[in-house]
Amino acid sequence: MHQEPSDPLVQAPVRIPSQGPEHAHTTTTVERGSFCLARCVCGWSGPARRSRDRARADAEEHHLTPPGDPR
């Protein structure tokens, strides 16, 4: 029997090319209803997007920022 998860958030890792051990950004995408947003372990969160591809692009763009940069 199929059950829907009780948690409305669905997280999927975003594959990012390795930038070395000094790079402190690890991003995921989170779905909330029909919206998707990117999040990072550094505390950054991107805008809610209807396009998953755009949320992944936000995550990639953030991943290229230096550690400690609030962008």
Q: Where are the beta strands (DSSP E) in 2-60?
A: 10-13, 27-32, 35-40
pLDDT of amino acid 12 = 56
Its pTM stands at 0.61
Residue 1, pLDDT > 50, answer no
pLDDT of amino acid 2 = 44
The tens digit of pLDDT for each residue in 21-65 reads 555 678 899 999 999 999 998 889 999 999 999 999 999 999 887
Among residues 41, 42, 37, 43, the alpha carbon closest in space to that of 58 is found at 37
pLDDT of amino acid 6 = 47
Instruction: Name the more confident of 54 and 1.
Output: 54
Q: For residue 39, with 0-12 CB atoms within 10 Å meaning exposed, 13-18 middle and 19 or more buried, which class applies?
A: buried
| Whole-angstrom Cα Rg for the chain | 13
Among residues 37, 42, 39, the alpha carbon closest in space to that of 66 is found at 42
